[in-house]
Amino acid sequence: MKIVIRVFFALLGLALGILLLPQFFQLIETATNTTFPAWLMSEYVTGTIGALIFLLIGLFITDSVIRLLRFLEERLVKAPVADLFFGTFGLLIGLVLAFLVSTLIDLVGIPVLSNVLTIFVTALFGYLGFTVGYRKRHELTKIFLRSNQSEKKATPEVVVPVKSNSKVLDTSVIIDGRITDITKTGFVEGKLIVPQFVIGELQYIADSSDTLKRNRGRRGLDVLKELQEIPGVEVEIYDGDFEDVPEVDIKLIKLAELVKGIVVTNDYNLNKVCEVRHVPVLNINDLANAVKQVVIPGEEMTVLVIKEGKEQKQGIAYLEDGTMVVVEGGKHLISKTIGVVVTSVLQTSAGRMIFAKPQEK
């Protein structure tokens, strides 16, 4: 690659030497009233001088050019195919528009100004075309999908919509960790998609100076690694990003819309936003509440009173699923396993509470 770059610089210098050096020498002759030898003005000499000058320049900047090419290569390889396609599509449209505008500029007939404007218009329209195509790729994708759907509706065949079972995991559900236990049981169907921007958020939390946040971030990374090691479970790392959207929650929703997947979260607010935008969502907390033990007033159970309640003479116990049981008159029964009778069940935003009283002997 170094040889190719240096040869390119030498050829570039050769061409510029033949085109520009004679004019440069003529300007010097005019300004200083001197005359250069005829052999110095020949194409062979000016081309050789230009090639040598640019070859020397290339020797010094070859490594920088190679680093730049490697950087661009890595960015292009990591970029999703859809982003490259729509960016290139917009670039081509911009260049076509630039060609048409440049043709009109040439008809005006201003030699120097026409050349400058042509270069400027080409660069401007090419940049705008690529930028618009890249930033509007999601909308263009939806337009193409709608056109395909309209064509399918026009045909007499019955089209059965295909729904994806892919699950898009957010940061909270990965840090929570219960998704690994649910996945191991086989209740989670389809592919698990973890966006790169979620992994970046986990890494940012893991690098925090706060000990609690740092432990939460590291736990999330450990959970992600454990998910990848579960046999029969496909975990995909989505490398794409929605750079026009700063919020991670909106990025998750857009990704779920793009892959026609389901958002898996523990975040109450994200859950509500998904419902407003009609995006399927699974909340692990709702699942945990759904599988808790069902009790009704009058039912008997055995509990271990472990501490004193807030109200006078109350005792507190917990079921195996973590449901809190408030035992009336159980203050003096702390550290004892007793039988209780359920008097009422209260469902709150924080969870479910069971009120009970000790069984009569």
- CATH number, domain of 342, equals 2.40.50
- Do 335 and 246 fall into the same domain? no
| Per-residue pLDDT, 158 | 43
Structural domains counted in the chain: 4
- Do 172 and 253 fall into the same domain? yes
- Do 216 and 268 fall into the same domain? yes
In a domain, 295, yes or no: no
- Do 1 and 63 fall into the same domain? yes
**Is residue 167 helix, strand or coil?**
strand
In a domain, 192, yes or no: yes
- Exposure string over 327-343, b if 16+ CB within 10 A, otherwise e: bbebbebeeeebebebe
Backbone angles phi, psi at 49, to 5 degrees: -60, -45
- Do 58 and 85 fall into the same domain? no
| Per-residue pLDDT, 156 | 47
| Per-residue pLDDT, 222 | 92
In a domain, 66, yes or no: yes
| Per-residue pLDDT, 151 | 55
Cα distances (angstroms) measured from residue 265 to each of 249, 252, 315:
10, 10, 34
Out of 268, 290, 312, pick the residue that ends a domain.
290
- Do 199 and 265 fall into the same domain? yes
Out of 128, 161, 194, pick the residue that ends a domain.
161
| Per-residue pLDDT, 161 | 42
How many whole angstroms separate alpha carbon 84 and alpha carbon 186?
37
- Do 61 and 98 fall into the same domain? no
- CATH number, domain of 198, equals 3.40.50.1010
Out of 256, 290, 324, pick the residue that ends a domain.
290
The structure's pTM equals 0.46
- Do 29 and 97 fall into the same domain? no
Residue type present at position 269: N
* Residue 289 near residue 297, CB atoms below 8 Å: no
- Do 173 and 286 fall into the same domain? yes
In a domain, 208, yes or no: yes
- Do 259 and 344 fall into the same domain? no
How many whole angstroms separate alpha carbon 209 and alpha carbon 26?
67
| Per-residue pLDDT, 162 | 45
| Per-residue pLDDT, 113 | 62
Give the residue from 132, 130, 264, 144 showing the smallest Cα distance to 194. Answer: 264
Q: How far does CA 39 lie from the centroid of its chain? A: 62
- Do 320 and 330 fall into the same domain? yes
Structural domain harbouring 344: 300-358
- Do 243 and 304 fall into the same domain? no
- Exposure string over 121-134, b if 16+ CB within 10 A, otherwise e: bbeebbebbbebbb
Written as tens digits, the pLDDT of the chain (361 aa) is: 888 888 888 888 888 888 877 777 777 777 777 777 777 777 788 888 888 888 888 888 888 888 888 887 777 777 677 777 777 888 888 888 888 888 887 776 665 566 677 778 888 888 888 888 777 777 777 776 666 665 555 544 444 344 568 889 988 889 988 888 888 888 888 889 998 888 888 888 988 888 888 898 899 999 999 988 888 888 888 888 887 788 888 888 888 888 888 999 888 888 888 888 888 898 888 887 777 777 888 888 888 988 888 887 889 998 877 788 899 888 888 888 889 999 988 876 556 788 998 887 6
